[in-house]
């Protein structure tokens, strides 16, 4: 079956429905949802029962880049800076030095066991050098794994921030494969350019996006998520246009925004959570359609060898060396080593050699696909088991009550009601303009005998009673100071 304008919506919606239903029941059998999405795509493809012919790496790469924008941005928005700050050093080292060491060690192994040139080997190592944000976020969060302090933020920070490094290494070694007259030192300026510009642009666009979201006055709440999507794509494309790393920029931008007071922030977060899942399904279905299982069978032997080396040697060694200067128990280091999930990102990066037309492009793509599948199957299905073996898990959180669920978006330990007098200077000011500390939030406003749920654009009125939540009692004095209430 060839995809046409007439049938693409029908085929796509049926595959999407099957994926959602399959994802609902997958964990009863211990199978990660991402593998099911891939399998459904493969079954629907040219070699499967669906017979859908899809062999367009350029379109798959475009879908992959768009999907990664949403997945990384959503992961960044959900990143709690307070949780990340204590382990920022570990996360940055793992996402840079750790990725580099993985790429070099695996590339060296590939050079020894295959007939690839050294640059082709390093290209393959670079493509699979980063942990996959879609795989890590979906498995850790959907399983609600209860891990000890700082371990989960470390894993999520690494997976969300290490794709840019793998992307730069992939482009660098692809350049060396195509232009073999260039020296390896010629790629160093490109590396620093991508990372420095990407980091600066991410922070800059984050601050600009906050200003635009909070200052622009849109008539409909539903337009704010649309505005956030526009700002996300502008951040990525503008950074890429000036020679920076767009993936790094959107992740930093999202982390910044996720820890700021924004108008209709809850609406934006909920929208991105749903879109991130949609993009994961679309991405894995597309990559499943793109691959030809009959072409993977010949590379399964060498693919399994490379995959086992990556899981058992390259990843653990790179993690242990990267964290050598940090104080951390060995069992935590070993668990971080095991959560080295590969998923859709390496497969998307493997389309770059296909589009460049290098000799070993098809073999590299098929090996990368096999590595990603085996990684999610072997590591993804055993995260809970290894957490118990290594004693890095914690007790499951208790079931939340109705009150807990009501306040779950702003969990605080203290609550106080603050009344607004008629002469208060803060009257007619928007909540977002009061610049409350992150340790305080307004859960509800009692106004004219009824309660309303405030947003950043909600204005303070005379006679309001604010239900304020705070981390500690002293914060209420700061809130009164912001409100100019003596």
Given this model, what pLDDT does residue 399 score? 47
Task: Tell me what pLDDT residue 23 has.
Answer: 62
**Phi and psi at residue 470, to the nearest 5°:** -145, 160
Mean of pLDDT values over 116-144: 80
**Domain definitions of the chain by residue range:** 8-389, 402-482
Has residue 432 got a pLDDT over 50? yes
Of residues 482 and 399, which shows the higher confidence score? 482
Minimum mean pLDDT among 133-142, 171-180, 234-243, 432-441: which range? 133-142
- Contact between 105 and 317 under an 8 Å Cβ cutoff? The reply is yes
Q: State the virtual CA torsion across 209, 214, 217, 223 in degrees, nearest 10.
A: 60
pTM to 2 decimal places: 0.76
Judge whether residue 411 has pLDDT over 60.
no
List, for residues 38-96, the tens digit of each pLDDT value: 778 788 777 777 777 777 888 888 988 998 899 889 888 888 888 788 888 888 999 99
**pLDDT at 25 > cutoff 70:** no
Residue 321 neighbours by CB under 8 Å, 6+ apart = 97, 101
Q: What is the pLDDT of residues 333-389, one digit of tens each?
A: 999 999 888 877 888 899 999 998 888 899 999 999 999 889 888 887 788 788 888
Cα 256 from Cα 200, distance rounded (Å):
12
Q: 288-343: per-residue pLDDT in tens?
A: 888 888 888 899 999 999 999 999 999 999 999 999 988 888 988 999 999 888 87
SS (H, E, C) 402-421: HHHHHCCCCCCCEEEEEECC
| End-to-end CA gap in the chain | 73
Residues whose CB falls within 8 Å of the CB of residue 71, separated by 6 or more in sequence, listed in order: 133, 134, 137, 276, 279, 280, 283
Cβ-based neighbours of 445, under 8 Å, separated by 6 or more: 451, 452, 454, 458, 464, 465, 466, 467
Give CA separation, 272 vs 146, 225, 352, in Å.
23, 8, 27
Instruction: Give residue 425's region: left, alpha or beta (phi > 0; psi -120 to 50).
Output: alpha
- What is the reported pLDDT for 401? 44
Distance (Å, rounded) from C-alpha 172 to C-alpha 185? Answer: 10
At 262, give phi and psi (nearest 5°).
-125, 150
> What is the CATH architecture of 8-389?
Up-down Bundle (1.20)
pLDDT of residue 256: 93
3-class SS of residue 440: strand
Are 258 and 79 in contact by the 8 Å Cβ rule? The answer is: yes
Residue 137 pLDDT class (50, 70, 90 cuts) = low
- The pLDDT value recorded for residue 4 is 63
Task: Specify the 3-state DSSP secondary structure of 325.
Answer: coil
Which sign does the torsion angle of CA 372, 378, 383, 389 carry?
negative
* Assigned CATH for 402-482: 3.30.70.1450
């Amino acid at each position: 079956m060839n995809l046409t304008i007439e049938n693409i919506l029908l085929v796509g919606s049926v595959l999407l429905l099957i994926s959602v239903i399959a994802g609902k029941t997958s964990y009863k059998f211990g199978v990660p949802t991402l593998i099911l999405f891939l399998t459904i795509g493969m079954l629907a493809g040219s070699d499967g029962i669906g017979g859908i012919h899809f062999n367009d790496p350029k379109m798959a790469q475009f879908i992959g880049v768009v999907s990664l924008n949403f997945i990384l941005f959503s992961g960044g928005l959900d990143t709690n800076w307070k949780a990340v700050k204590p382990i920022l050093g570990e996360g940055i080292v793992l996402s840079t030095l750790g990725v580099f060491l993985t790429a070099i060690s695996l590339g060296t192994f590939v050079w020894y066991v295959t007939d690839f040139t050294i640059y082709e080997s390093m290209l393959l190592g670079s493509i699979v050098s980063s942990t996959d944000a879609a795989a890590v976020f979906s498995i850790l969060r959907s399983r609600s794994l209860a891990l000890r302090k700082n371990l989960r933020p470390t894993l999520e920070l690494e997976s969300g921030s290490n794709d840019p490094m793998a992307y730069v290494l992939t482009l660098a070694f692809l350049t060396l494969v195509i232009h073999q007259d260039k020296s390896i030192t010629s790629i160093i300026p490109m590396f620093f350019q991508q990372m420095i510009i990407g980091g600066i642009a991410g922070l800059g666009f984050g601050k600009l996006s906050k200003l635009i979201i909070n200052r622009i006055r849109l008539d409909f709440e539903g337009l704010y998520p649309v505005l956030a999507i526009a700002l996300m794509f502008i951040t990525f494309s503008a950074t890429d246009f000036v020679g920076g790393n767009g993936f790094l920029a959107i992740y930093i931008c999202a982390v910044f925004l996720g820890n700021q007071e924004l108008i209709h922030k809850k609406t934006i977060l909920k929208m991105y959570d749903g879109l991130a899942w949609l993009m994961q399904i679309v991405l894995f279905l597309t990559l499943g359609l793109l691959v030809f299982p009959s072409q993977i069978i010949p590379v399964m032997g060498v693919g399994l060898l490379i995959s086992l080396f990556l899981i058992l040697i390259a990843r653990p060694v790179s993690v242990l060396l990267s964290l050598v200067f940090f104080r951390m128990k060995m069992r935590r280091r070993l668990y971080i080593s095991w959560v080295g999930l590969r998923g859709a990102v390496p497969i998307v990066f493997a389309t770059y050699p296909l589009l460049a037309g290098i000799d070993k492009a098809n073999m590299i793509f098929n090996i990368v696909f096999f590595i990603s599948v085996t990684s999610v199957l072997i590591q993804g299905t055993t995260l809970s088991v290894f957490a118990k073996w290594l004693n890095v898990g914690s007790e499951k959180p208790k079931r939340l009550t109705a009150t807990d669920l009501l306040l779950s978006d702003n969990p605080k330990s203290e609550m106080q009601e603050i009344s607004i007098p008629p002469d208060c200077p803060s009257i007619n000011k928007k909540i977002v303009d009061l610049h409350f500390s992150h340790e305080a939030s307004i859960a509800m406003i009692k106004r004219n005998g009824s309660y309303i749920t405030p947003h950043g654009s909600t204005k303070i009125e005379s006679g309001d009673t604010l239900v304020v939540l705070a981390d500690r009692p002293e914060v209420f004095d700061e809130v009164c100071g912001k409100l100019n209430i003596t």
